[in-house]
């Protein structure tokens, strides 16, 4: 059994395929494009066409017109071809029509070479002036569009979202980038911090977990199981690093990288580490198992069937031991007491309240005030302790999230790590 990296479903894979899995190459870039296309489609369906065009431009690095044409086609239900899309150059290319016109003018003037040079010279100056005008107009349109996108942050979006401020999150640190060298990532989706402020982020495949100091400087790396995807990571306050890969929970000494062993957990989906050092592991079949730092099981919390909870995709734990669990089918978030009793439920595809997500939630995090954060690739939504929608801010390729002791938010924004200061 293997977990599909695209849909998160568990599928049976023949051993022969697993042995030759490297033949398929790295599909992480294709995965990212597919996720972005899905997000663009959601924006179109939510009547947020401007944002959809902007995201299309960022994803495929095309011009405004190409992005608008593509989004218009998607809105009309037509197929689009992204195979040939390339970065649009700002350099002007020679216009064959201009060359042709110049030739005709030269022939028409004919008898006077001087007049011909003057006319051609004037045409060249005209072309240069026109190019300058087009470049200036393009820059103005980009600035106008940027300002319009900023101003739209105050407009009510579907489900009556009303941001409290113009910008609630300030990016104060960004590091990483595409690559396999020190501090570079191929497809990092998980992140955590420890009590010393160090930052950990792992590539989705390959088992490579990199460690940085509080300023984003590369320190070292730990290599876990190279044949399984890294689904989640977490640290306790005693220097232990926990890595969930498939149905195995690995334990490492963060300082030395020493492998302390692993614990098998059937149908495991996500992990979270409490301030007390307990390790919470959710399963797809709707239960939460709790372990100590040595991997010994302490107890199992069964989610009541009367809650209509189908499967747990992500979990988070606050300082009081309350558990937040994301339903993988309905995308509803359940807030549970430490004993598993339901405290509140919010979000979900069929919920018409303000808490409905505008995208697919990929991770949960809880800050020191008990507010809940849900990443959705192109935005992060914030809810109060009772599940009421508070605000949201835009992001790029946002997957895993974590908070440090100073209340700063770290996001695995592949292939980068981004630190935000929250202004509320």
| Domain ranges, residue 107 | 96-151
What pLDDT is stored for residue 299 in this prediction? 95
Note whether 365 and 378 are within 8 A (CB).
no
In angstroms, the CA 194 to CA 275 distance is 11
Note whether 243 and 254 are within 8 A (CB).
no
In a domain, 350, yes or no: yes
Question: Element (H or E) spanning 41, and its range?
Answer: helix 28-45
Task: Tell me, yes or no, whether 259 and 393 share the same domain.
Answer: yes
Note whether 323 and 315 are within 8 A (CB).
yes
- Chain centroid to CA 412: 7
Closest CA to 309 of 290, 335, 337, 280: 335
Number of domains forming the structure of the chain: 3
Task: Tell me, yes or no, whether 55 and 182 share the same domain.
Answer: no
Task: Tell me, yes or no, whether 410 and 335 share the same domain.
Answer: yes
Query: Of 69, 88, 107, which one is at a domain's C-terminal end?
Result: 88
Q: What DSSP character marks residue 323?
A: E
Task: Tell me, yes or no, whether 147 and 233 share the same domain.
Answer: no
What pLDDT is stored for residue 162 in this prediction? 44
Half-sphere exposure of 179 (CA within 13 A, CB side): 7
Query: Of 126, 151, 176, which one is at a domain's C-terminal end?
Result: 151
What pLDDT is stored for residue 107 in this prediction? 34
- CATH number for the domain spanning 178: value is 2.120.10.30
What pLDDT is stored for residue 216 in this prediction? 97
In a domain, 271, yes or no: yes
What pLDDT is stored for residue 187 in this prediction? 95
In a domain, 158, yes or no: no
Closest CA to 334 of 401, 287, 402, 400: 287
Residue with tokens 């989706």: 189
In a domain, 162, yes or no: no
Task: Tell me, yes or no, whether 6 and 135 share the same domain.
Answer: no
Q: What is the token pair recorded at 10?
A: 């568990």
**Tally of CB atoms within 10 A around 79:** 6
Task: Tell me, yes or no, whether 112 and 82 share the same domain.
Answer: no
pTM of model > 0.85: no
Task: Tell me, yes or no, whether 124 and 222 share the same domain.
Answer: no
119 backbone dihedrals φ, ψ, rounded to 5°: -65, -45
What pLDDT is stored for residue 7 in this prediction? 52
Contacts of 42 (CB under 8 A, 6+ apart): 358, 359, 360
Query: Of 88, 115, 135, which one is at a domain's C-terminal end?
Result: 88
Task: Tell me, yes or no, whether 190 and 287 share the same domain.
Answer: yes
Task: Tell me, yes or no, whether 101 and 244 share the same domain.
Answer: no
Task: Tell me, yes or no, whether 262 and 299 share the same domain.
Answer: yes
- pLDDT tens digits for the chain (424 residues)? 555 544 555 556 555 544 444 434 444 445 556 667 877 877 787 677 887 888 888 777 778 888 888 888 888 777 676 655 643 333 333 333 333 333 333 333 333 334 344 444 554 555 455 444 444 444 344 334 444 343 333 323 334 344 444 579 999 999 999 999 999 999 999 999 999 999 999 999 999 999 999 999 999 999 999 999 999 999 999 999 999 999 999 999 999 999 999 999 999 999 999 999 999 999 998 899 999 999 999 999 988 777 878 789 999 999 999 999 999 888 899 999 999 999 999 987 655 544 467 678 999 999 999 999 999 999 999 999 999 999 999 999 999 999 999 999 999 999 999 999 998 7
Strands 389-403 and 297-302, how do they pair?
unpaired
Task: Tell me, yes or no, whether 349 and 225 share the same domain.
Answer: yes
């Amino acid at each position: 059994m293997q977990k599909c990296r695209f849909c998160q479903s568990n599928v049976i894979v023949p051993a022969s395929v697993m042995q030759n899995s490297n033949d398929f190459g790295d599909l992480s870039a294709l995965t990212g494009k597919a996720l972005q296309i899905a997000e663009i489609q959601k924006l179109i369906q939510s009547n947020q066409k401007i944002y959809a065009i902007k995201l299309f431009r960022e994803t495929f690095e095309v011009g405004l017109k190409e992005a608008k044409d593509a989004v218009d086609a998607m809105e009309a239900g037509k197929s689009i071809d992204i195979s040939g899309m390339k970065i649009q150059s700002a350099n002007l290319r020679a216009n064959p029509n201009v060359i042709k016109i110049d030739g005709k003018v030269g022939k028409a003037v004919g008898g006077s070479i001087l007049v011909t040079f003057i006319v051609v010279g004037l045409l060249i100056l005209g072309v240069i002036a026109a190019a300058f005008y087009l470049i200036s107009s393009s820059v103005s349109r980009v600035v106008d569009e940027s300002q319009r996108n900023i101003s739209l942050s105050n407009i009510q979006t579907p489900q009556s979202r009303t941001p409290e401020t113009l910008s609630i999150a300030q990016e104060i640190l960004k590091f990483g980038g595409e690559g396999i060298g020190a501090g570079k990532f191929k497809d990092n989706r998980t992140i955590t911090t420890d009590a010393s402020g160090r930052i950990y982020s792992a590539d989705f495949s390959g088992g490579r977990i990199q460690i940085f100091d509080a300023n984003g400087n590369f320190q070292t790396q730990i290599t876990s199981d190279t044949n399984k995807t890294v689904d989640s990571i977490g640290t306790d306050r005693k220097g232990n690093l926990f890595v969930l890969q498939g149905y195995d929970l690995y334990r490492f000494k963060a300082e030395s990288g020493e492998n302390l062993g692993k614990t098998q957990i059937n149908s495991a989906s996500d992990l979270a580490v409490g301030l007390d050092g307990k390790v919470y592991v959710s399963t797809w079949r709707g239960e939460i198992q709790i372990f100590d730092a040595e991997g010994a099981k302490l107890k199992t919390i069964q989610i009541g069937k009367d809650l209509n909870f189908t499967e747990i995709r992500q979990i988070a734990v606050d300082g009081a031991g309350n558990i937040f669990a994301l339903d993988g089918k309905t995308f509803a978030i359940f807030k549970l007491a430490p004993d598993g009793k339901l405290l509140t439920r919010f979000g979900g595809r069929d919920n018409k309240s303000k808490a409905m997500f505008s995208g697919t939630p990929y991770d949960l995090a809880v800050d020191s005030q008990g507010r809940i954060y849900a990443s959705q690739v192109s935005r992060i939504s914030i809810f109060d302790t009772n599940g009421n929608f508070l605000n949201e801010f835009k992001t790029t390729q946002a997957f895993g999230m974590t908070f440090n002791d100073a209340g700063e938010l770290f996001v695995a924004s592949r292939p980068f790590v981004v630190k935000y200061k929250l202004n509320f």
